[in-house]
Structure 1
Amino acid sequence: MAIEPHVSWAGGSAPQAEPAARSEPPRDAEGAAARAEATLGELAPEPPAEPDIGRLAALRALRNLEATEARLERNARREIEEARGKLVKELLPVLDNLDRTIRAAHASRSDPAMLEGVRLVRQQLEGVLRGFGVERIDALGRRFDPNVHEAISMVPVADPQRHGVVVHEVEPGYRFGGRLLRAARVGVGKLATPYDVRPAAVWR
């Protein structure tokens, strides 16, 4: 049996152990935590502001008003252009009749003074139409274009280069505002063959 050694302490009792010192967080750590909380508070999204219903309604009404004004302006311009086009189209036959009168006066060798008067009237009317934006379509000597020409006859030609070319203008064509107002009525060259008995005949 082992015998434990006996230790005697002076004063009769063993010394008491000192309690462990309480660990406190360093002050630097506390400052870092405070700064982190402040940063997170700054980054946190703010709650969305409530929309201003009255302001949105006013903006919507203003946009609708502007769109209505633009539509009315477009409609007014279109109506004006249509009215001008109708008036111009009604004046074209008058110009055609003046051209026929001038040609007939040339053929019959009428009074030169009267012929000059008709020419002046025609020039004035043509100037008025030009002021409205009317443009005459060039036809003679041009390649036939179904977009602006109306072929009413085929004219036999001996020159291959005149095949498919406008060789005769019956009635001039006009544009108005960049749009076709009336197609030119023309005779188009067709290369004659040996079987054509009458090369100068007009085929309809």
Structure 2
Amino acid sequence: MRIGAVIPNFEAQTTKGPLNFYDFQGDSWVVLFSHPADFTPVCTTELGRMAVHNPEFIKRNVKLLAHSCDKLQSHTDWVNDIKSYCRDIPGDFPYPIISDEHRTLAVKLDMIDEDSKDNEELAVTVRALYIIDPNHKMRLSMLYPQSTGRNVDEVLRCIDSLQLTDKVKVIATPANWVPGDKVMILPHVKDEELPKLFPGGVDKVSMPSGITYVRTTTNY
């Protein structure tokens, strides 16, 4: 799955009942994230932290949707473990987990580890995470090996960046940016356009090359 690709519609069984992806998404963003298996330690922490942060995703009009290649009853039992381990999950477990025991969806969405992609017996999903916009386009992907857990704050930061740059289409966010920090003005924007676009002011950074291409502002 490449950035900009349209996520095809699909139907699946989940811990919260049957799901049609497009109906589930509606006009929201979706974070679809996959896990190698139920009852695994790192995945347990990840699903727990995503659940704890669910109110932050809701603020951003984002729905969470997990995926794992196990049976539905296994998912249900695992949710009970996750809730026991992460005791700060508010209320009921907030999002569905897809049951994909035959790996059909994992293959369709390109979530299979390269080393085992041709082995139906051993193929496992990588920790793929897709941020999908309301037009069903995959806007950002993160692929983690089984050994490394995700950083939920980074997922939220990326959503903030995507939503901001969709709203203000002439900016980009720099390394380590968080909301409130300076943003970068895209190179194609001409200097004479800056006062109208950013009346609060723009900072220009001098470079040894003499090319003024780093222009920042907090007025966005």
- Tell me which interval the TM-score lies in, with the shorter structure as reference length: under 0.3
| Structure with the higher helix share, 1 or 2 | 1
TM-score (structure 2 length as normaliser): 0.20
Greater RCO (CA < 8 Å, at least 6 residues apart): 2
Whichever of the two has the greater Rg, that structure is: 1
Name the TM-score, length of structure 1 as normaliser.
Answer: 0.21
